[in-house]
């Protein structure tokens, strides 16, 4: 199974070509699943959301991530620090099926 050149270009444009790194190791069924998954991703939307988050994290009025990117500049100093600012979602705002009562699980099932 070959990879469509348009898909390769789409991934390259979105800086996501690494998603195909293990293509040779996949069987045909796994390849089809991967292609289906990739085709469901709206890379433009993901990029816009990510850049919006970066702007919020780096609310420095002297540096605009989007403006820097539009002008073709790399925003390396900010990019290098973004990993330092991003953290896992706190336990207080996420749940676990292991820590949820049977009643609450049933409530979720009814609503779902």
Tell me the pTM: 0.55
* DSSP codes joined into one string, 18-66: GGGTTGGGS-HHHHHHHHHHHHT--HHHHHHHHHHHHHHHT--TT--HH
pLDDT digits (tens, 9 = 90+) for 2-57: 899 999 999 999 999 999 999 999 999 999 999 999 999 999 999 999 888 888 77
User: How many of the other CB atoms lie within 10 Å of CB of 65?
Assistant: 22
Domain ranges of the chain: 5-85
* Cβ contacts of 31 within 8 Å, gap of 6 or more: 1, 23
């Amino acid at each position: 199974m070959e990879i469509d050149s348009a898909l390769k270009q789409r991934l390259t444009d979105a800086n996501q070509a690494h998603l195909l790194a293990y293509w040779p190791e996949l069987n045909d069924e796994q390849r089809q699943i991967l292609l289906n998954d990739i085709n469901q991703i709206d890379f433009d939307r993901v990029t816009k959301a990510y850049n919006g988050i970066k702007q919020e994290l780096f609310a420095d009025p002297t540096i605009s991530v989007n403006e820097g990117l539009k002008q073709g500049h790399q925003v390396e100093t900010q990019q290098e620090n973004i990993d330092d600012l991003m953290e896992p979602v706190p336990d207080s705002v996420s749940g676990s099926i292991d820590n949820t009562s049977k009643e609450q699980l049933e409530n979720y099932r009814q609503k779902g």
